[in-house]
Chains A and B, each alone.
Chain A
C-alpha cells in the first residue's frame, strides 16, 4: 500500500512538472522555446535508450541509427518528395526505424558486453557513412533543408506554439507508453534479464526474444524522436547523426539515472541546455561539455535522480528516527528502560 502511494506521488510530481512546462513554455522567448523543444525531442531518444541500457542492460552505441532513419526519412519525404500528410511521414519514419532495428537486432543481440557496444558502434558508422557520402539521397555534407512540418488535422505546425504543443503531446504519449511498458510483466522480465540472464533462462523465459523485442521497441521510439528533430530544425545533416549523437544519448541516460525513465528526460534537458544555452555566452563551452561527461561518471554514476532519491531517503530516515526519539521521550518515566 505504501509502495503504491509513493509511486502515485511520484507520478503526480512528474505530471505537475510537465503541466508547468506546458503552461510556461509558450510565454518564453523563441530561443528558449526552441531549446525546450529540442530537449523534449532528445528526451524521447534518451528514454528509448533507457529501455535498452537501463532496464535491459544492453549498452548500445548505435542509437543514432534509428534517429537517423526517422530524421532522414522525414526530410526526404517532406523536402524531396513533397509529401504533405504528416501521419504518413510519421508512419514511414516509425515503420522504417522499426524495420531497421528488427534487422540489426538479429545481428547484434548475440553479442554481449563490450562486443555489443562495438557492433552497435559499427552500425552507427555505417549509417553516418551513408548520410555523409550518399549525396543523391541524403544531400551528403550539405544535408537536406526545407523540412517544413506539414499541417496536422488542419492545424498549421509552422506556428512555433502549435509545434511546441505537438511535440509536447507526442512526448507525453511516448512517456506514457514507455512507462506502461516498464511497469508491465514484459518490463519486469527485462529487468530480470539484466540482473541475471542465466536465472531467467532457467525459469523458462526466452531471453533472446525479450532482448530482441526491447531492441526493436527502443529503436522505434528513437525513430520518432528523429522525425521530430528533422521537422523541428527544418534541416538534417550528417553531423546530427554522427557517433557523438549516440554517445550523447548514453550520457543523458547516465547523467539522469538509468532505469528511471524520468532521469534520462532530466539528462536530456541538462545537456540540451548546456549545448544551446550556455554555449551562446561561454566561448569555451566544449570544455564544459567534456567536463560534464567526466564529472558525471566520477561523481554521479547512479545519475542525478539517484542522488536526489538517496538524499530524500536519508532525510526521511532521519525524520523517522527523530520522531521515534521524541515518542520515547514523551512516554511516562516508568515505561522507559
Chain B
C-alpha cells in the first residue's frame, strides 16, 4: 500500500487519531494512578477488559438502542471501579511503597480476572454492537469515515476535559495536587490522604473500564486482550511521562500515529519502532517527556 497519497494519509490519520483516543481512555488512568499513588498498576488492562465484559452483559439486558451505550459506559466503569476500591483498601494499601510487591499483586489480580472472565463469559470472542447511527460510515470526498471512530474521539475529548477541569479548577483537584506535592504536609492540614488515594485509584480504574466499554465495539472482547493492550498503555504513559495528564494526551497521540503508520510502512518492525523510542526516552529523561521527577 502506498501510504503517501492524500487519500491514504487522511484515512490513516483519522484511524490514528481515533486509536489515540481509545489509548487515552486506557492509559490516562494508569498515569494518574502512578502520579498520585506511585503504583505500577499491572492490572490496569485487566480492568479495561472487565469493563468490556460488563458492557456485554449490560447490552444483553438493556438491548441495543443508542441510549444503552452511555449507560453501559457508566455501569461498566462503575462496577469495575467499585471492585478496585476493595482491591485498593485490602491489598494495595498494605504494601506501602514496595514497587515489586505492587507489580506482583496487581498482576496476580490480572491472572485471577483472566480466569474468572472465562468462567463467567466463556472463552468466546465477542464484538460488542455499535448502536445506530454509529454503525455506519460517512463518506466525504470519496473517503469513508467510520462514525464509531468519531465517537471514540468525542468520548476521549470529553473525558480529558472533565479530568482537566476537576484536577485544575476544583477544590477536590487542589486536594489531589496537594497530596501529590507533599503528602506529609497534606495530612498535616487535615487531608485524609488514604481517601484521596483510594478515590484516585477508583477514578483511574473507572476511566480504564469505561475505555473497555468503548473499545469493546472496536477491538472486541476476548480472553488475552488485556495482556495485548497492556504494552500500549505503558508505551503511552512512559512516552508522555508518568503522572502527567498532558503527557497522557501527547503519549496517546504519538503512540496512536506511530502504531498505525508503523504498521502500514514497515509492519515487521512496527513494534520495535513503537517501543524502542520509549526505552530511549527513559534512558535520557527517566521521568518521560512531561513527567515530574
Residues on A facing B (Cβ under 8 Å) = 53, 59, 61, 107-108, 110-111, 113-115, 117-119, 121-123, 125-126, 128-130, 132-136, 242-244, 247, 250-251, 254, 284-287, 289-294, 296-298, 301
Contact = CB atoms under 8 A, between A and B. Distances in A.
Contacts of A132: 271
A244 B107 contact: yes
Main secondary structure of the interface of B (DSSP, over half): helix
Given A122-B234, A133-B267, A134-B272, A293 B282 contact: no
Chain B: interface size category:
35 or more
B1 to A, nearest CB: 17
29 contacts: A53-B100, A107-B279, A111-B282, A118-B238, A119-B283, A125-B231, A125-B234, A125-B278, A126-B275, A130-B269, A133-B271, A134-B272, A135-B268, A243-B230, A251-B104, A286-B111, A286-B112, A286-B114, A287-B112, A287-B116, A290-B107, A290-B109, A290-B110, A290-B111, A293-B104, A294-B104, A297-B95, A297-B104, A298-B94
A113 B119 CA distance: 37
A123 B107 CA distance: 18
A250 B115 contact: no
Given A110-B286, A122-B275, A129-B275, A293 B108 contact: yes
Interface in B189-233: 227, 230-231
Contacts of A123: 279
A251 B111 CA distance: 13
B253 to A, nearest CB: 19
Interface of B: 38, 40, 42, 91, 94-95, 99-101, 103-105, 107-112, 114-116, 119, 227, 230-231, 234-235, 238, 242, 267-272, 274-276, 278-280, 282-283, 286-287
Contact of B104 (A108, A247, A287): A247
B24 to A, nearest CB: 19
A294 B275 contact: no
Given A247-B104, A250-B104, 13 more contacts: A111-B286, A123-B279, A126-B271, A130-B269, A133-B268, A134-B272, A254-B100, A289-B108, A290-B107, A290-B108, A290-B112, A294-B104, A294-B108
Contacts of B110: 290
Nearest to B114: A286
